[in-house]
Structure 1
C-alpha cells in the first residue's frame, strides 16, 4: 500500500519504517497519491499561540477565556485531559482543572498568526476557503505539476513549515470532497494527517450521527426517536424515505452519511460571520448600563470588520438572560458600514426596547457581509459619514501604535 513519510515526504510501498529516513510518522492509503481536497485545522489554536509566546507554559494546562461567568474560548490538550472543552462555562472549567493557567483572549495576536498560515496556504493553491480563524478547506487539484509532488506531499511539507515558521501545529484531512476531508482531519488530532477515500462510507457507518456537520443535538434526538443513531442507518435511507421522514433536507443528510458532498471550494465564500460579545460579571437589567457595555463591542466588531476586509450590511443583537435563554434581534442598516458609531446608533434603539429582563451576556454581529469598498461612502446629502470614517481611522491608527487604552469615547 502506498505510504507517505511525514518526516521526509517520501512515498514508498515497503512495510515498516521509511526506507529513506527511517521515520515512523507514516500515513498509508491506496489513494494517498491521488486525492486532492484538504481540510486544515489548527490544533487548540488560541492556546497554542499562547504557549508559543510563553514557552514556560509548554507542559502546563492552558485555558483561554475570561472571568468566572465567561466561557472557554480554547484550551490545550493537557487541559482537555481533565474534561475541559471549548464553550464550557469558565467556572466549570476551573473546577475541572484548578491548576490551569487562564489567559484572557488576545484576538489581534491570533489574527496575525492566522494571517501567516493563510499566506502559506496561498502558496499551495489559489482555491483556499477559510472556514474560521483557524481552519480552511483547500483544493489542490491540478497542482502536482506546479509543485512537482502530489497534494499529500505538498500538505506534509506545509504542516512542517507552519510548525517551524508560525510556531503552532495543524491537523490535516485529505479526501475526495470537503465533508470527508473535514471528518478525516478530526480523526487524527493533534498534529495529525488522516485520509478518507473509497472506504469512507464503511468507516463512517458505525459512527454516531452527531459527527456529521449539520446534525446538532436537536436533530440527533429527532433521529434517535426514529431509531437512527448511527451514520450507516441514515445512509441506508433512499431519497424518498429520507424526504418523508426528515423533510426537504432529508436526501442531503442521507447523501452526507454516504460520504457525498458536491460543494466546491469557493474562496469568495470565506467568512460567514463576524461578531463580538461579552459575559457580565453580574447580571444587568438597566438599559443605560447595557448601552455602556454595547459601545466597546461595536468598536471591537468594527475593528474586526476592517481587519477582515468586510462591511456590515445588517446587524444582529444577541442577549442571553440570567436563565440562559438566548434572544436575537435583527437590526437594519441603511447602508453597509465599518463604523462603530453607526453600528451603535443602529443597535441602541433595539437594545432599549429589549431592556427589562436581567441579562448575563450581550453581543453584536454582522448579519450580512459585503466588500469593504461598499462601506461608509456617503453622498451629496450625507457628507458626515466619510468624516466619521476618517475620524475612526485616525483613532484606530493611534490605538495600533500606542495601545487600545490610549483614547476612549466619552459618554
Structure 2
C-alpha cells in the first residue's frame, strides 16, 4: 500500500513506477522529480498501472465549496449545517475537525468543541451544480462512473489506456487535477482492483491524497484491521462478530466459508470474500434517483398533530418541485419521523404515479394520522420512492388500503 507522498524510500516502492500528482505524467522507477513539470509530488506503487478501479472522494465537499466562494473563511473552522442548536453538522472543514467536530454531531456539541466555528446553512442547489460538473469531468474519461453520493464515486477505468493512451492511475490524477483547476475543489483518490479496496484506499490519505492497494498486498493489508473496515459491517454485525471472538479481519481469514455461511447466512459468504480482498461487485453507472425527499428538524420537540401536519405542506412542495425538475413521478409516498430520543420511524403508502404536491401531502397526512399520538418528535420528512419517467409509467395498481 502506498499513499499520496513520494515514498520512493519505502521497501517495495523505491523501484516502482510512479505518476506525477501535478501533471499526471507516467514516470519510470527511480525518478525523483518529474522531468515534464518539475514536480516532486510523485506517487509510487508496484502495481500502479495494473489497477483499474478508482474511488474518488471529494474532501469535505460542502465546506470546501463554501470556502471556495468565501475566501475570507479559508483559514477558519467552517461547519455546514443547521444554524441553531437543534440542527446537526452536515459537513465540516478539516480545521474544524482538529477540534473534534464530526458530521452528524449536533450543532450545540460542535460549538462546544469549536466555539469559533462559522456556521453556514447548506445550499444544496449549489452543491449539486458543482457535483454535476465533477461528474461530467469523470465521465469524460470513462462511462463507467457509479456515484455513491453527491461527492464520491467509483470509476472503472479498464479501457482508458486503449482510448486515451494513459493508465487508470494517470486518469485519476488528471480528473482530480481538473477538479482543482476548473471547480476549485479537492479530492482524494483510492486505486485498486475492486470496489471494496478502492474505497478503503481513498480513506487512507486525506485530504488531497492518493493511496493504492494491490493484489499482492491485499490480504496482509486487511488482516490487522478492525472488521468494520469491510463494507457491510455496521455496529450490529460488529457486536455479533465480537461475541464470536472475531474483531480483526485476520480472525475472519482464519474461518472457513462453510462456518461463516452457517453462522451469518449470505453475509458470511461476503465476509469470507471481503476478508481476502475479493469483491465481485461491478462498477454500475448511475441509475435514476431511487427516492426524492425533504425533511425539517424542529427548534423544539413537537407533539401537536396540527403542528406536525403544517410542517408537511412546504416539504411536499419541495419534493414536488424537485421531481418536476428531474422529470420523474413517484409510486410510493414515504413519511419519516424522528422521536426526541432519536428513534427513526418510516411509513410508506402506495399511490398512483404522481409528482403533484397535494397528492403527496394527502398521502403523507394519512400516514401521519396514525403516528401523531402525542409522542414528541424532533424531525419530520416526506418523500417519494419507486420513481420513474411519466412516459414509462405502467397502469396504476389498485391500492387495497387506499380510500
Q: Given the two structures, how large is their TM-score scaled by the length of structure 2?
A: 0.89
- Once residues 38 and 178 of structure 1 are traced to their aligned partners in structure 2, the CA distance between those partners, rounded to angstroms, is 7
Query: Does residue 11 of structure 1 match 2:61?
Result: no
Contact residue 188 and residue 206 of structure 2 kept, 8 A: yes
> In the TM superposition, what are the counterparts of 1:183-332 in structure 2 within 5 Å?
183-198=200-215, 199-269=217-287, 271-308=289-326, 310-332=328-350
Cα RMSD between the aligned structures? Answer: 1.9
In the alignment, is the contact (CA less than 8 A) between 2:147 and 2:286 conserved in 1? no
- Residue 67 of structure 2 aligns to a residue whose secondary structure is helix
Residues 262-271 or 345-354, more deviating: 262-271
Q: Which 10-residue stretch deviates more, 9-18 or 317-326? A: 9-18
Residue in structure 2 matched with residue 384 of structure 1 by the alignment: none
* Paired residues of 1:131 and 1:270 also in contact (CA < 8 A): no
Other-structure match for 1:167:
184
Where does the alignment leave 5 or more consecutive residues of structure 1 unmatched?
A: 379-411
**Which deviates more, 297-306 or 191-200?**
297-306
**1:36 matched to which residue of 2?**
52
In structure 1, the partner of 2:143 is 126
Q: Measure the CA separation in 2 of the matches of 1:170 and 1:30.
A: 23
Give the whole-Å Cα distance in 2 for the aligned partners of 1:253 and 1:310.
Answer: 37
> What pairs up with 1:392-407 in 2 under 5 angstroms?
none
> Does the 8 A contact of 1:306 with 1:338 survive in 2?
yes
Query: SS state of the match for residue 367, structure 1?
Result: strand
Task: Quote the residue 2:174 is aligned against.
Answer: 157
Within 2, Cα distance between the matches of 1:372 and 1:40?
33
Partner SS for 2:266: coil
State the partner residue of 2:7.
none
Q: Report if aligned partners of 1:311, 1:374 keep a CA contact under 8 Å in 2.
A: no
CA contact (8 A) 1:238 1:251 kept: no
How many residues align structurally?
A: 377
- Structure 2 SS opposite 1:350: helix
Match of 1:178 in 2: 195
Alpha-carbon distance between aligned partners in 2 of 1:177 and 1:138, rounded to the nearest angstrom:
10
> Judging changes above 3 Å, is the alpha-carbon distance between structure 1 residues 375 and 108 closer, same or farther for their aligned structure 2 residues?
farther
Contact 1:276 1:297 in 2 (8 A): yes
Deviation larger for 57-66 or 22-31: 22-31
Structure 1 Cα separation of the partners of residues 326 and 46 of structure 2: 39
Structure 2 residues without counterparts, runs of 5 or longer: 1-15, 397-403
What do residues 259-295 of structure 1 show as CA deviations (whole Å, max 9, x unaligned)? 1111111114464443221110011111111111112
Partners of 2:300 and 2:330 in 1: CA distance:
30
Shift of 1:306: 4.2
- C-alpha distance in 2 between matches for 1:17 and 1:306: 52
**Taking structure 1 as the reference length, what is the TM-score of the superposition?**
0.87
Aligned to 1:98: 115
Pick 1 or 2: higher relative contact order, CA cutoff 8 A, min separation 6.
2
* Aligned residue in 1 for 2:71: 55
CA apart distance, 1:15: 5.0
SS in structure 2 of the partner of residue 274 of structure 1? strand
Distance between the aligned counterparts of 2:299 and 2:182, measured in 1? 38
Deviation at 1:313, TM superposition (A): 2.4
